[in-house]
Amino acid sequence: MTSVSLRRKHKLTGKKVWPYLFLIPFFVIYLSFNFYPLIYSFVISLTQWDGFTEPVFVGLSNFVNIFTDDPYFLKSIGNTLLFMLFNAPFVLIGGLILATMLNSKLIRGRNVFQLATFLPYLTIPVAIGVLFMLLFDWNSGLINRIFVSLGIFQEPVNFLGLPGPARFVVIMMINWKYIGYHAVFFSAGITSIPVELYESAEVDGASAFVKFRKITIPMLRPIIEFLLIMNIINGFQLFDEVKVLFSPWLSASGGAGTIGGPDRAALTAVWNLYDTSFGTQMQYGKGASIAYGLFLFILLFSLVALFILKRTNREEV
């Protein structure tokens, strides 16, 4: 083999090696901070451990316990599904209508309105929780003051101290936060629809509603599917805003200072996970099993949503 061919072989080998060398830091970080904690948390889920004493292997007992004997796991899942039921349709339909209005020629200063609707999503969760606590406080909340002054309420309503009103406040809070987020996605999708489609429909005499139903919605279907899955994921991860809203230091707000709100009516799946692992119970093994149970629910509902959407697509075709 000549020296020229050896140099060429060495150069080709170097070209093949360098890309893998640059990928090594990513894999090291991923295995250290993502893959290893994932495996280790599953190992913990098979034990009974409070973080101080030696872990005791209990097998699948924690998983059986959360589905059979735990009074709060299924209730937290039920609360989360209830919030998602009232949240997903509202933010999807409301975001689509809002985006359509913002893209209308009748609206001036569209960028300002888009920023105003998107700001709640950019607001930190702690600020959102405090804001809604101040709005719906029993004694000095702005909502109670307005309704009492208008004569709608005879006396202030304990929004944060009663199960039904507490759920209503949580639903209002997450809808207010996410409707602008959806509107931005829909607005970007609407602007990408070819204008020729609408012009052809106008030539055929189609009304604004027909164009919206036959052109806008079908063209936005990929965005709708994406946002629906994100609603499921974000819904099961709801925690920060609700925990701040019903934090113990708000105990003066008429029963708001309880874990999960009054009668745990606002206890979400992640809040239950947090309280089990790091709160009053300090059961790391059970908390890890709740995390995997939550993952199964997210996976199940995401697959069901994708199946329904694909089936709807086939029927329309």
Domain range list for the chain = 3-45, 71-316
Per DSSP (E only), the strands in 176-272 are: none
- Examine the pLDDT at 47 and tell me if it is beyond 90: yes
128, containing H or E segment: helix 125-135
The total number of residues written for the chain in this structure: 317
> What is the C-alpha to C-alpha distance for residues 289 and 298, in angstroms, rounded to an integer?
14
Q: Residue 248's pLDDT is what?
A: 54
| Residue appearing with tokens 């809002």 | 98
Backbone angles phi, psi at 47, to 5 degrees: -125, 165
167: closest CA among 225, 240, 59, 245?
A: 245
Asked if 216 and 207 touch (Cβ cutoff 8 Å), the reply is: no
182-209, pLDDT tens digit by residue? 999 998 898 888 888 888 888 888 888 8
Asked if 175 and 93 touch (Cβ cutoff 8 Å), the reply is: no
- Examine the pLDDT at 255 and tell me if it is beyond 50: no
Confidence of residue 249 (pLDDT cuts 50, 70, 90): very low
Query: Which two structure tokens, joined as six digits, stand for 230?
Result: 């994100």
128: closest CA among 160, 174, 163, 92?
A: 174
Residues with Cβ within 8 Å of residue 169, at least 6 apart in sequence: 132, 136, 159, 160, 245
Q: Residue 267's pLDDT is what?
A: 92
- Examine the pLDDT at 38 and tell me if it is beyond 60: yes
103-162, pLDDT tens digit by residue? 876 666 677 777 888 889 988 888 999 899 889 988 888 898 898 888 887 888 888 888
Interhelix angle 73-102/284-316, rounded to 10 degrees, is 40
200: closest CA among 190, 191, 192, 210?
A: 210
The domain 71-316 having CATH identifier 3.20.20.300: the answer here is no
Find the range with the poorest average confidence among 94-108, 182-196, 276-290.
94-108
